[in-house]
Amino acid sequence: MNLVEHVREIAKNEPEKTAYHYLGQDTSYAEFDEKVGKLSFALKEMGIGKGDHVAFLLGNSPEFLLSLYACMRIGATAVPVNPIFSLDEVAYIFKNGDVNVVIALDSLLPLLDEGKSLFPKVDKFIVCETGNGNGAYDSISHELKSKLKLFSTLVDEAEQQVEPLEINVEDTAIILYTSGTTGHPKGAELSYSNLYANARDVAYFMGYTAEDRVIATLPLFHVFALTVVANAPLFVGSTVLIAPRFSPGEILELAREQRASVFAGVPTMYNFLYQYESGVAEDFATLRLAISGGAPLPAQVLHNFEGKFGVPISEGYGLSEASPVTCFNPQDRDRKVGSIGMSITNVENKVVDDQGNELPPNEVGELIIRGPNVMKGYYKNSEATKDALRDGWLYTGDLAKRDEEGYFYIVDRKKDMIIVGGYKVYPREVEEVLYQHPSVKEAVVVGIPDENFGEAVCAFVVLNDREASEDELVQFCSGHLAKYKAPSEFRIVDSLPKNSTGKVLRRNLQVNK
């Protein structure tokens, strides 16, 4: 029940097998294990161990994987943080998460220096040299300089490796802060057994093998990437193709040159890949599996991508609190467009009413989950934990339905539902229609106050090169939707506010009339 031990076994049995590829260089499982051992020794020499909370302000890089597995080897708790967060966002997580050690990119040293008074508990800093620091080191205070250790030096100069600590599998391995779409993020505590179980079950359900070559362009600090393109592939001895950022051209080139077999992305990525004019089907010729998650996948985006590249997309579902995957379209039968699939191995999904009673097929209710992947709770937030974990089930806050064959469909977020004159409107249904319009590049639907009906439907739309008037969009929707569902107002915008995984931040939209 420990990922570190499991990957060590692979390193012993297949030492020359490539664990990850990054910027043209391969690193074997034996080399990966050795570097993890050396970093573990260096951290221990610094006095870091069980009970310490280590924040990662890192992008997609070998340093992220090494840091994660080194922390797990010595029993420290990892706290991944989005490296593009503002100082206020970083300070909140550091304070709420009781962070006392930070591993960060050199370009973020000025931010850490500026905010050091906001997180006085942090007394150890490890910096990763990227070559893009632009003199950041020279601009920081002597106080911070005196606390810095170089990541590369720690690994290179470590005198020996550390054997993995005897760890209780129910100890907290990682605290993942939710995306905070509805306010301050909450820290989901995931145990060693949570991470192990979901990596194992995802690898099994998705048919990962040691021959797979998995593109990791999703941000590794996010739970989707952490399991689907890192821990699960490493669990079976696959090769992880680490992409430092998402760029359609660079991803297609990486897939072609490294003969990638698995790609995982959010709907926004599939949309950009489709729109990339130079992309051709041959770029993804070796791809056997394309995975979508993180946000609902509009059917039109799915059809556009599949029509261009000839690779079917399988949609799944997960959330930070479940490590994250709970559902996925099975690989041994036809997938269903619009469905998040079936319960993965060892995980139960159920649709219930407001009293917690299971609903029959095709009735909409809240999706709840039970399994070895479900979090311990929210860090230092017993009230939110009590609300989310009830009678052994995780209440997701997502509205869903199940068909007669056991396939689940996300209808919408419970809190995003719009009530128009007593009628329920699910934003996703309206968004699916908007995506069918040839001028619509992106769309999101929200409720706005209405004197007569309580709420009305408002659509924020990003257009492509083809112009469209509001009247044209109104006419289009009226032909596809009941009157109460059709947007009464359209707002044409240049872009939509999103978090790091491409999920639209509805709370950042200016929705008041």
Domain ranges of the chain: 27-167, 417-508
What global pTM score does this model have? 0.86
pLDDT number for residue 181? 46
Other CB atoms within a 10 A radius of the CB of residue 303 amount to 15
pLDDT per residue as tens digits for the range 383-437: 999 999 999 999 999 999 999 999 999 988 777 888 887 677 888 889 989 999 9
Measure Cα distances from 438 to 44, 228, 289, 434 in Å: 58, 33, 27, 9
- Tell me the pLDDT of the chain averaged across its residues: 92
pLDDT number for residue 244? 95
For residue 134, name the pLDDT band (cuts at 50, 70, 90).
low
pLDDT per residue as tens digits for the range 276-327: 999 999 999 999 999 999 877 889 999 999 999 999 999 999 999 999 999 9
Within its chain, how far is the Cα of 17 from the centroid?
27
For 31, list phi and psi in degrees, rounded to 5.
Answer: -65, -40
H/E stretch holding 176: strand 172-177
**Do the beta carbons of residue 456 and residue 447 sit within 8 Å?**
yes
Given a cut of 80, whether residue 65 has pLDDT beyond it is yes
Outline where DSSP puts E strands in 243-330. Answer: 262-265, 289-292, 313-318, 325-328
| Measured distance CA(144)–CA(244) in Å, rounded | 27
pLDDT per residue as tens digits for the range 203-218: 999 999 999 999 999 9
Nearest to 4 by CA among 171, 128, 154, 151: 171
pLDDT per residue as tens digits for the range 142-192: 999 999 999 999 999 998 888 777 889 999 999 999 865 445 789 999 999
**Do the beta carbons of residue 128 and residue 151 sit within 8 Å?**
yes
Largest CA distance in the chain: 73
CATH 3.30.300.130 at 27-167, yes or no: no
Task: List, in sequence order, every residue forming a beta bridge with 445; answer none if it has no partner.
Answer: 459
| Measured distance CA(126)–CA(134) in Å, rounded | 18
Over pLDDT 90: what percentage of the chain?
A: 76
CATH 3.30.70.120 at 417-508, yes or no: no
Same fold yes or no, 27-167 and 417-508: no
